[in-house]
């Protein structure tokens, strides 16, 4: 499992993380934004590194970019004992993690996530990969970073939309863990961010994820809890992409949680008051993703093709209550359409 460190002093934390690994040479993978904004901070903490920067958008998370990272490592003389540091958001930690996991059958890597989404989700738990044939994360392996260094100072320059995007995954961690963490998250003022409190909440959030991944690293069972909100969420994300108006992953998950909380109420007895409070928070902060009943068929087809499904049945993670998880739940088309009706009624 990952060694996850909530940084107090990046230089010291990085020194310790590097010492844990073999490292005849150290390489850094950044994107064009983190190269400008975050790399100078990293270079204050280490020297003698070779840096490679790739395009920042998710469309670069592909086989060609992966080949360019392998080429870079190869041309700069990386060996089996070299170390790769991934500096960026989820795209960088996923692609860099996969490049490291496959180069010379696997070299050590450290994740240094710079977005909230990557800190609380993507960089932790060992999922690595790239998109392929238009499918997200279609090719990849489970292979945890040796260390994940969480420096929440990077969040001070992150834009509000990306803070909200990561916060949706934190809200999910609250819903699948315990009432007090969930209540703290709902009370957080997203419009006046208290970064000290945010750091504490990020630490708790990562603990929730680590606790689950530790029980089921390869997602055979309880790790599916982390998919709460994602069955509807991925369909919304894909619909937005098809409309050429992409939405951030966390926003899609927030809208997906509205749907899956309602489904949890109907099918699993999730308490209505807690559903209403959570939906209120989402509506206030994330606004609305609009669709009509003429989009239902496309949304249903997208859910049918979700890679989380087994035996061609749409798979949901539902909640009986906060922290009471039910994995491998199913729903027929009529129920799914009723849930979409509910979303439109309560969000519009």
| Per-residue tokens: 28 | 């850094």
| Candidates 72-80, 120-128, 276-284, 320-328; binding stretch for ligand GLY (CB under 6 A) | 120-128
| Euclidean distance between CA atoms 283 and 306, whole angstroms | 26
- Each residue of 323-332: b (16+ CB within 10 Å) or e? bebbbebebe
| Euclidean distance between CA atoms 208 and 231, whole angstroms | 20
| Binding of residue 175 to ligand GLY (CB under 6 A) | no
Minimum CB distance to ligand GLY smaller for 45 or for 137? 137
With CB under 6 A as the contact rule, the residue among 89, 113, 125, 233 that binds ligand GLY is 125
With CB under 6 A as the contact rule, the residue among 127, 173, 181, 274 that binds ligand GLY is 127
**CB 125 to ligand GLY: min, Å:** 4
Match 């961690």 to its residue by tokens.
173
**CB 47 to ligand GLY: min, Å:** 33
| Binding of residue 172 to ligand GLY (CB under 6 A) | no
| CA distances in angstroms from 342 to 135, 219, 290, 292, listed in the order given | 29, 30, 13, 12
Q: Using CB atoms, what's the residue nearest to ligand GLY?
A: 226
Contact 61, 94 (CB under 8 A): yes
| Binding of residue 140 to ligand GLY (CB under 6 A) | no
Per DSSP, the three-state class of 92 is helix
| Candidates 5-13, 140-148, 218-226, 316-324; binding stretch for ligand GLY (CB under 6 A) | 218-226
| Candidates 4-12, 59-67, 119-127, 304-312; binding stretch for ligand GLY (CB under 6 A) | 119-127
Minimum CB distance to ligand GLY smaller for 39 or for 170? 170
State CA 147 to chain mean position distance.
17
Residues 225-264 that bind ligand GLY (CB under 6 A): 226
| CA distances in angstroms from 184 to 77, 173, 174, 189, listed in the order given | 48, 12, 9, 10
Encoded one letter per residue, x for contact with ligand GLY by CB under 6 A and - for no contact, window 270-309 reads ----------------------------------------
Other residues' Cβ atoms within 10 Å of the Cβ of residue 182:
21
Contact 94, 140 (CB under 8 A): yes
| Euclidean distance between CA atoms 257 and 228, whole angstroms | 7
Minimum CB distance to ligand GLY smaller for 249 or for 274? 249
| Binding of residue 121 to ligand GLY (CB under 6 A) | yes
> How many residues sit in the footprint of ligand GLY (CB under 6 A)?
6
Per DSSP, the three-state class of 138 is strand
Residues 178-217 that bind ligand GLY (CB under 6 A): none
Q: Which spans of this chain sit near ligand GLY (rule: CB under 6 A)?
A: 121, 125, 127, 219, 223, 226
């Amino acid at each position: 499992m990952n060694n996850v460190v909530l940084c107090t002093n990046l230089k010291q934390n990085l020194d310790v993380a590097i010492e844990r690994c073999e490292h005849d040479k150290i390489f850094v993978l950044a994107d064009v934004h983190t190269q400008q904004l975050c790399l100078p901070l990293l270079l204050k903490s280490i020297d003698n590194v070779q840096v490679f920067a790739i395009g920042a958008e998710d469309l670069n998370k592909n086989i060609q970019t992966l080949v360019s990272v392998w080429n870079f490592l190869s041309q700069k003389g990386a060996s089996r004992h070299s170390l790769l540091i991934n500096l960026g958001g989820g795209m960088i930690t996923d692609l860099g993690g996969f490049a490291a996991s496959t180069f010379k059958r696997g070299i050590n890597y450290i994740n240094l996530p710079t977005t909230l989404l990557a800190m609380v989700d993507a960089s932790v738990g060992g999922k690595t990969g790239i998109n392929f044939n238009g499918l997200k994360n279609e090719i990849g392996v489970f292979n945890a970073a040796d260390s994940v260094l969480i420096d929440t100072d990077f969040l001070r320059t992150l834009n509000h939309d990306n803070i909200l995007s990561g916060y949706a995954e934190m809200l999910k961690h609250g819903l699948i863990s315990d009432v007090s963490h969930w209540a703290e998250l709902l009370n957080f003022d997203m419009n006046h961010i208290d970064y000290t409190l945010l750091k504490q909440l990020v630490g708790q959030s990562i603990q929730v994820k680590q606790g689950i991944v530790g029980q089921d690293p390869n997602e055979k069972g309880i790790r599916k809890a982390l998919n709460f909100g994602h069955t509807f969420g991925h369909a919304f994300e894909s619909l937005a992409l098809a409309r050429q108006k992409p939405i951030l992953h966390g926003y899609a998950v927030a809208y997906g949680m509205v749907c899956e909380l309602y489904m949890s109420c109907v099918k699993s007895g999730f308490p209505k008051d807690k559903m209403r409070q959570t939906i209120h928070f989402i509506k206030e902060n994330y606004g609305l993703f609009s669709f009509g009943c003429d989009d239902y068929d496309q949304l249903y087809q997208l859910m049918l093709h979700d890679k989380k499904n087994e035996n061609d049945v749409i798979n949901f993670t539902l909640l009986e209550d906060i922290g009471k998880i039910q994995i491998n739940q199913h729903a027929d088309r009529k129920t799914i359409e009723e849930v979409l009706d509910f979303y439109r009624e309560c969000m519009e």
